[in-house]
Amino acid sequence: MSQKRLSGKRAIVTGGATGIGYGIAKRFIAEGARVIITDIDNPGGIAAAEVLGLNCEFVHHDVSVPADWDRVFAVAADRFFGLDIMVNVAGVTLMGNIEQLDVDTWDKTMAINVRSCFLGCQGAIKAMKSDGGGSIINMASVSAFRPQAELVAYNASKAGVDMMTKSVALHCARSGYGINVNSINPGVIQTQMLEKVISQVDNGEALMDSYKAMHPIGRIGEPEDVASMAVYLASEEASFVTGSGFTVDGSLSNN
């Protein structure tokens, strides 16, 4: 049997109760990693950790709150004695164009989608830089560079994640920390978050059909599609890869 690609690695995956986060945690464990999944959904996180097994632990976590991050990193230090992989997945997609969107919805989007990545990167660097380095993966989106009128806050937040990733990667490279920092830009992925987006509009079925039609490959993505890229970026195979965004979108961004 071939060597597992993440054997002995220690990871944190936010938004791990469902969707992309859960898919990444599942693949990481299959590849030999131990994983802390975090989520604001306490019952969902507990259930997910039970399914994922002994190499998974759940920590309740509001990713927009600095004190919650302190607790998550303390758990990693206590249970794992360090950290090798940080994956910032948790996020929200709140609909609204520039005329419709209110300030509270804008601020909520930025806190959960952008501030969370800032805090996750900051804490992960502190944990990794004196312990042999590691890999940080931020979940951006094709929405970082493919705008939609009804996603003004989401577009702006994911563009922020994309550029922040590059800035953090450059800092870590110049500092000699041995920490690679990259982002993944998924297309439309079949998740509970997508179901929430669909529920925000009057004709959800038509919106879903339009999303499918946007992907030349003929389908929307699955969490496993994104998880495969995350495994690569977290592995030693990507040791010379940093400051890059990897698009996983069935050619949506070329359509």
| Residues taking part in catalysis | 154
Q: Can you tell me the distance from the alpha carbon of 95 to that of 198, in angstroms, rounded to the nearest whole number?
A: 10
Cβ atoms within 10 Å of 204's Cβ, excluding its own: 13
Per DSSP, the three-state class of 195 is helix
Asked if 11 contacts 84 with a C-beta cutoff of 8 angstroms, the reply is yes
CA gap 219, 96 in Å, rounded: 25
- What are phi and psi for residue 237, nearest 5 degrees? -60, -25
Q: If phi over 0 gives left and psi between -120 and 50 gives alpha, with beta otherwise, what is residue 95? A: beta
Rounded Cα distance between 13 and 81, Å, is: 17
Question: Please, what is the Cα angle at 157 between 138 and 114, to 5 degrees?
Answer: 55
Q: What is the distance between the alpha carbons of residues 239 and 255, in angstroms, rounded to a whole number?
A: 31
* Crossing angle between the packed helical segments 19-30 and 42-52, to the nearest 10 degrees: 20
